[in-house]
Amino acid sequence: MSMTLCDTGPRFETGSDGGAEVQVRTARRERRERPPWRFFLRWAAAVAVSLVLASLVMYALTSRGLERRLLQESLHGYTAQATSLEDVLARESTATPSSSLRSEVNWISRGYGTTYAGLYDSSGRRITASGERHGGIDVATLRTVIDTGRPLLPDAQTTGSTGQRRFEFLLPVRSSRGTAVLVVDSDPAILTNLVFDLRLRQARSLLLVILIAAPVSYLLGGRGLHRRQRAAERTADTDALTGIYGRRRFESILQEALAAPADDAVALALIDIDNFKRVNDRFGHSHGDQVLIALARSFDALRDSDFAFRMGGDEFAVILPQADEQRATQVLARVRAALTHAIPDVTISCGIASVRVRDRVEQQELWERADSSLYEAKRLGRHQTVTFSTVARGVTRAVTRLEEVAQSAAETTRLPPTGTS
């Protein structure tokens, strides 16, 4: 729809949404540059790391307790077997161990993880035993169990010349002829395997929790947080009036462009609206804002790979990856044509500089080259595009001319040879 903002002002084509369309296009580009799955991966990694750290802390706090609980369970099993021995001893009529007693002790020694089972009296004399045992019996410990009447929960011990490790359980066995002690040796490897199996199950459970917690937590809270983060980043990165990128994103995007493959070219264009102050003074700042928005919308003529920025006031910049000065000039010509179609009475001046990535030109130097080109475009009368190569050729010719003038002046003022009239 065509409209006139001022009776004496220039006419231009614009939409009622102003910079909203540009903001939508900028948001679409940001979604391409920062796809949601990247945020989800970071979110999932954060959830996974948090759960793993919590599990490690829990493991450190409960690891020792887990071993003690397993020993307690083993002790309960041996206590039940000691009760069975008491029933057998109650039926014994002589001090000589019967086949039933030996069979019961032998059955205990064949239990899972059990390497030895023996029945001892208070003096340390073995009544009956089954299995292989390294090392002797501590009589003082036997007496302690007999006196207290309570089983003794073991710690891992190293016995014998082979350095074999074992858990030694001591349990009181009461009978009519006094209290004996059931000594049971258990292989620590069994306990270690049980602990490892439990930890493996915990790890599997943790993995399952992570697989469930990451997407569920993202759906419940992470997605909303991601939207707010993107909105905040968009607000910080884009110009509020025009909807295109602001100065904040300029350096990072230019750095990425200069980090492209060595054979690629990168062009930087700086753009000023000609006599913009006069436009503001004559038609008002509201009209000036519409001119800025119109120029931002004219950047739709850029390639999909190009980036436009409002650097401040009426100063704009365009980064053109994979473009030399000739290609950048062609692209900027399309922008100029789009602006002329929208606002025929408003013109722009453009300065372009292009470098090869392999030349390793710094950002500041590329900016200064483009700025020099823009200054030359203004000096030549505005409403045109000047490339840095043109400026450089002009400087070279000027230097050459100055050298020629200096040489001519030196020849003119040279003294004549001696002896001439």
Q: Which of 185, 237, 272, 314 is catalytic?
A: 314
Which of 306, 235, 304, 315 has the alpha carbon at shortest distance from 274? 315
Could you tell me which residues come within 8 angstroms of residue 167 by beta carbon, excluding any fewer than 6 positions away?
A: 71, 74, 154, 155, 156, 157, 185, 186, 187, 188, 191
Q: For residues 317 and 271, what is the distance between their CA atoms, to the nearest angstrom?
A: 6
Q: How far is Cα of residue 63 from the mean position of the Cα atoms in its chain?
A: 31
What DSSP assignment string belongs to 383-400? SSEEEHHHHHHHHHHHHH
Residue 359 bears catalytic tag: no
**Token pair belonging to 277:** 């102050």
Alpha helical stretches, state H, 120-260: 139-148, 188-217, 223-237, 247-258
**Token pair belonging to 334:** 């399309």
**Token pair belonging to 5:** 């903002």
Burial readout 90-112 (b: 16 or more C-beta within 10 A, e: otherwise):
eeeeeeebeeebbebbeebbeee
Polymer length in residues for the chain: 421
Neighbours of 334 (CB within 10 A): 15
Half-sphere exposure of 154 (CA within 13 A, CB side): 23
| β-pairing verdict for 12-13 and 2-3 | antiparallel
CB distance 352 to 319 below 8 Å: no
Per the listing, tokens 């929790």 go with 209
195 φ/ψ angles, rounded to the nearest 5 degrees: -65, -45
Q: How far is Cα of residue 326 from the mean position of the Cα atoms in its chain?
A: 40
The residues annotated as belonging to the active site are 314
